[in-house]
Amino acid sequence: MGANTIGCEFALTTFGESHGVAIGGIIDGCPSNLTVDMAFIDSELQRRKTQNEFGTARIEQDKVVFFSGLEQNITLGTPIGFMIENKDIRPEDYQDLEHFRSNHADYTYLKKYGIKPLSGGGRASARETAARVVGGSIAKLFLQRFDIRIEAKIEAIGGINYLQNREEAERLLQAVKQAGDSIGGKIVCRIENCPSGLGEPVFDKFSALLAQAMISIPSAMSFEIGGGLSTAVRGSESMAGGLQGGISNGQSITFSVGFKPISSYNCKGRHDVCQLFRATVIVESMAALVTADLMKRNYNLGKI
C-alpha cells in the first residue's frame, strides 16, 4: 500500500509539501448518497487555523476545491479528489536558516530521499494536516448517519489540567510566549454511540488503529486508551471502557494524545506557542477516519 494512505475501505491518500503549490488528497470508499455539507467542512478547516494569541498569524484561506466524487454536493460512491491551494507561501522565511532547525525533519528527509528542497520541512508540517481535516470531515458526515459523535478537548497544557485550572494554564501560556518558547500538552477525545463489534482481532484492534492515527499527527508523542492512570491501578479496580479485546462494546471510547512543544521556536518561520488549540480538530478527524473505516470493514458480512 502506498505510504501516504490510511484506511482500507474508507481510505484517505494525501499529497502536498507545506510550501508547494497545493496540498490535497483522495477519499476512496465513501458511500454514495451522502450529502456533503460544505459549510461544515469550511468550519472544520477554520478550527484548524489560529484561534487565539497563542498561534501564529496564518492567513491561509484553506479553501477546499472538490474535483470529483460529488454531484450537487451528493457523493457518487466514486473517489473524492480535492485540493487546497497554498496561498500564503513565504519560503523566504525559511531560506536563511543556514543550519537545520533543531528537531525538524529536514535532516531525516535528506537522509531518506537524498534531496533537500528549497522550501521548508516537506511533508513533515502542520500544513499537511489540512488534508486530514477534509478527509475527517467527510468521515464525520458519514458517521452522523449512524449518530456516532466524536469530540476532542484540551485536557492539559504543560503539566496543568486545562479543564480545572484554565486561568493557571493561561498564565503559563503568557509566560511561555514572552520567553519566545513553546509548550505542549494533552488532548482527550471521546467517541460516542459507536456500535459494538468495531475493530479487528489481533493487529487491527480499534485501539491499535487509533494509536497509529494519533501518533501520525505531527508532534504527537503519546497515546493512552481509556481513562488514564490505568497502569497503576489493580485488576480489581480496572474499568472496562468502550473496548474489550480491542473491539467496541457499545459504550463510549475515550483516549488521550500527548503533544510535545513545537520544536522550531525562536525561528523566523511562523510557529505556535501552543498548537493544542489547533489540534483538537485534527485528533477528531483522525478518529473519524479510523471509525469510518472500521464501520465499513465490520458491516461487510462479518457474520452471515
Q: Which of residues 192 and 251 has its CB atom nearest to a second copy in the complex? A: 251
CB of 70 to a second copy, least distance (A): 8
- Residue 122: CB minimum distance to a second copy, A: 6
CB of 29 to a second copy, least distance (A): 6
Give Dmax over CA atoms of the chain in angstroms: 63
CB of 295 to a second copy, least distance (A): 7
In whole angstroms, how far apart are CA 157 and each of 84, 164, 184, 282? Answer: 31, 11, 6, 17
Assess contact for 246 and 284: CB atoms under 8 A: no
Nearer to a second copy, 26 or 150 (CB): 26
Of residues 8 and 97, the one with the C-beta less far from a second copy: 8
Q: Compare residues 165 and 222 and give the one whose CB is closer to a second copy.
A: 222
Q: Read out DSSP for 88-155?
A: ---THHHHT--SPPTT-THHHHHHHHS---SSSSTTSSGGGHHHHHHHHHHHHHHHHTTT-EEEEEEE
Q: Any residues with CB less than 8 A from the CB of 72 and at least 6 apart, and which?
A: none
Question: How would you class 203 by CB atoms within 10 Å of its CB: exposed for 0-12, middle for 13-18, buried for 19 or more?
Answer: exposed
* CA distance linking residue 190 with residue 287, whole number of Å: 9
- Minimum CB separation of residue 58 from a second copy in Å reads 18
Q: 16 or 55, CB closer to a second copy?
A: 16
How near is the Cβ of 131 to a second copy at its closest, in Å?
A: 9
Give the residue with the Cβ less far from a second copy, 52 or 245: 245
- Residue 70 CB neighbours (<10 A): 20
